[in-house]
Chains A and B, each alone.
Chain A
């Protein structure tokens, strides 16, 4: 039984904001299934009482002095914008037709 169906992969693509084509879905569905079947091996390890590690070096919150320091200028921040207008990022309309 496959670990993941083509429909599920299509759903993942929507969640991940990727407008994948039908051809891509065919390829990705098979590949993701192979990968998931392989990485599911982590489940073979008995680890109920093992704490998870999110980070190699354990760290608690790191703070700096609460002082103002220079950041990017408005011009620098907008320098890579696909579109800018009046010193602001220009974005497409936010609301869809639905």
Chain B
């Protein structure tokens, strides 16, 4: 039998639903793969073998009884970012302050995955509270990039992206506040989608920056991402910012795009996200991808979005401001870590000692930065002005979408950098999000699809495709068309060129689970 871990989610679902292979066999194959390679990758913070096998058995029983599968992805395994609550399964957000926390409820995304019969293998590593671009800010140690273990897998969702690239799971869930789905997708050669803000419920997604946070699908193919998008998307009364409208028809768009014709599609290349300051190999891969879109029939034009240059600055005021408020909930009283409760310290002292011990440096930096930006005397110059820049960026997008259907850019200015290279230079780390941030500020849909390897280091490059609010299907059509053309030109999917990982033989899953 072919290696089940190399198949796409759509292929696995087809075989499971045709009863050519059982969901339990598929889950076990992925658990075995995790046991073998995760010591080298460290994509997972927790592996729930028992829960995964129970979910898989339930799918097999449904099919054996002659009932239809709960969803087109029933029985397919998935890696869930550790920022979504899972009832009775540890949820740490990559932070010591939530070490060992067992949530008493499921996030809406978790609930929808379970209802769809998707098999959740475990929880993936991430920068603490999703603050970071390399997964080095995890309190539990970094994740390594399967393309090169000395390199970062992106962040904050480096665990989810690495799990896909290491064939530990065919599907994953991430969250994208400033690029935390798309940037890891780009640097690991996988597909990552930030849906329109409000397109996927935030209920049970531990909040970092509420006006920017958005959960979304991660996969190795565009179609797989679309299938997962339709499972997790849609209105949720438990999230008051959830959009009360049908999920955009992303699966149909991915299938349409796969036919390989982009005639009549207008593509805008953002001039501000091209040229100086970008790694040459990233630019050449990006420009080749744009030529490919033209060859597929798309009309390609240049579009200027002048305020994008201020996006990074606006983001690093707005996101820390919201973070300083959201993370005030970690007060050592109701859940999580408590330090210094020895009878001599007051509640406030215990709170202060706990937050000092429980938060890592990046979280502390952002909390203090946000506290500063929101304080009287600085509010107008920093937070208020950043909100105005946000308006101007949204207007740039609106003007651009008068002329084109989608916008494109490189997803990241560079390929995966070395572990340790930027940990002591927060500003350099922040610049990793240069291209991805504008879509978060405006709430638009955006995704990254692999577009080859950079010639100077052989590492993956991502093509970012952006679409207007609730027009997510537009970017899926373009991405799917591009993916088919690229695979045809390259003689197969890019992800199959990831080097073989060192396998640890004879280690049980129980030993890997933490």
Contacts and interface: CB of A to CB of B under 8 A. Distances in A.
Given A45-B310, A53-B390, A18 B356 contact: yes
Interface in A57-73: 57, 59, 62, 64, 72
A45 B102 contact: no
Contact of B371 (A16, A35, A57, A92): A16
A8 B385 CA distance: 22
A35 B369 contact: yes
Contacts of B426: 31, 34-35
Interface of A: 4, 8-9, 12-13, 15-20, 24, 27-28, 31-32, 34-36, 38-45, 47, 50-57, 59, 62, 64, 72, 76-77, 79-83, 89, 91-97
A45 B392 CA distance: 9
B241 A28 contact: no
Contacts of A79: 102, 104
Given A92-B345, A92-B347, A57 B364 contact: no
B148 interface: no
Contact of A52 (B102, B334, B355, B388): B388
Given A36-B369, A42-B317, A47 B385 contact: yes
B20 interface: no
12 contacts: A12-B371, A16-B371, A18-B355, A38-B316, A42-B313, A45-B388, A45-B389, A52-B391, A53-B387, A55-B211, A57-B197, A91-B333
Closest 5 A/B residue pairs (Cβ): A56-B443, A80-B335, A52-B387, A82-B338, A76-B104
Contacts, number: 185
B443 A42 contact: no
A13 B368 contact: yes
A60 to B, nearest CB: 10
Nearest to B337: A82
B367 interface: yes
A24 B355 CA distance: 14
Interface in B404-455: 426-427, 430, 440-444
B234 interface: no
A89 B335 CA distance: 10
Given A56-B394, A56-B443, A35 B316 contact: yes
A52 B313 contact: no
